[in-house]
Amino acid sequence: MSRKSYGYTKAFALALLLSMSLVSAPQAVELDPGLQDYMAVSGVSGNLKSIGSDTLNNLMTLWSEGFRSHYPSVKVEIEGKGSSTAPPALIEGTAQFGPMSREMKSKEIEAFEQKYGYKPSSIRVAVDSLAVFVHKDNPIRCLTLKQVDAIFSKTRKGGYEKEILTWGDLGLTGEWAAKPISLYGRNSASGTYGYFKEVALYGGDYKDTVKEQPGSSAVVQGIASDKYAIGYSGVGYKTADVRTVPLAVKEGACFDATAENAYTGDYPLARFLYVYLNRNPNEKIDPVRSEFIKYIFSRQGQQVVIKDGFYPVSRALADEDLKALAVR
């Protein structure tokens, strides 16, 4: 299976799992009514450390604040420098949770398994649309993935007929026609960098002119201050100074980075966000980690997902992941 088809298969799988009645009307995001309120229990204490995704950094912080409102004695430390920092932290035992905006690579899983004798566990905690952003004054209406590839990639594995260098190459006129496109993106430690490379660039290589940023918010800030810029970041980082560009797999129907389009699978850059952990399959998860996971999948935890600009998971998916961890 090619990287291209693999990306679309994942989007289709996401649609199958999540296209429930979570979106009651276009643009309106609602929680699955089956999600339960979080109920605090006794005997929960200790320390938690999370090392991993910048995309998930704010979500992990909000979850920890909500969790500590029930368990004020629990200390939670969050560090978000990129998804690639999560696997080493879990292997070395310096973190209890490893949030990632992509799935672990096979070599990362193998390194973990070599040390512990079993694979790392994961939960799917939210849905994100990886958005292509432009300045709020940019008039571009739609881009195909092949065009996105020709804008950001020097290899053009998507097959677009020529390299795209100016806004005029995309049909813009007037003051935009001759303006070079200024490129913003994430650094290679980021899961967002890897996902965009795999799906939007068809597994190709980035242009050397992409201005790599250490965080998702830095990408959006750069585009907001650069009128002729384009970049990619999680949709949760959208501000009033930028706008999302609707995308199409092929010429024709374009779909914006909305919850509805993510759940139906129509938006081609929809993805799960993950939290990985070290769970010995022969042992029960300790109470503090177990309760934190239950909080994430509660009504309160998934309401935070909406608050942070991402999309919640369904009760069915939450139950599936909880069952896999033997968390009741």
Can you spell out the DSSP letters for 167-205? GGGGT--GGGTTPBPEEEEE-TT-HHHHHHHHHTTTT--
pLDDT at 13: 52
Q: Residue 187: helix, strand or coil by DSSP?
A: coil
Tens-digit pLDDT profile for residues 37-54: 999 999 999 999 999 999
Q: In the prediction, which pLDDT does 26 show?
A: 44
**Side chain identity at residue 98, one-letter code:** G
Q: Three-class SS of residue 82?
A: coil
Residue with tokens 């300790």: 286
Sign of the torsion angle spanned by Cα atoms 202, 208, 214, 218: negative
- pLDDT, tens digit, for every residue of 170-185? 999 999 999 999 999 9
| 2 CB-contact burial (10 Å; exposed 0-12 / middle 13-18 / buried 19+) | exposed
* Other beta carbons less than 10 A from residue 149's beta carbon: 24
Average pLDDT value for the chain: 92
> What CATH architecture is 3-128+271-324?
3-Layer(aba) Sandwich (3.40)
Percent of the chain with pLDDT over 90: 87
**How would you classify the pairing of strands 242-244 and 75-80?**
unpaired
Residue among 210, 145, 202 at smallest CA distance from 181? 210
Q: Where are the domains of the chain?
A: 3-128+271-324, 129-270
Mean pLDDT of 281-291: 96
Residue 265 has pLDDT above 80, yes or no: yes
Gap between the Cα atoms of 18 and 305, Å rounded: 15
- Check for a shared fold between 3-128+271-324 and 129-270: yes
Residue 18 or 186, more confident = 186
10 Å CB burial of residue 322 (0-12, 13-18, 19+) is middle
pLDDT band at 235 (very low <50, low <70, confident <90, very high): very high
- Check pLDDT > 80 for residue 2: no
**Tell me: the pLDDT tens digits for 193-212?**
999 999 999 999 999 999 99
d(CA 272, CA 211): 25
| pLDDT value at residue 252 | 77
Rounded to an integer, the average pLDDT of 113-133 is 97
Of the candidate CATH numbers 3.40.50.1580, 3.30.930.10, 3.40.190.10, 3.40.50.300, the domain formed by 129-270 belongs to 3.40.190.10
- Calculate the alpha carbon distances from 50 to 150, 289, 310, 325 in Å: 36, 11, 19, 18
Dist CA 55 CA 101 (whole Å): 7
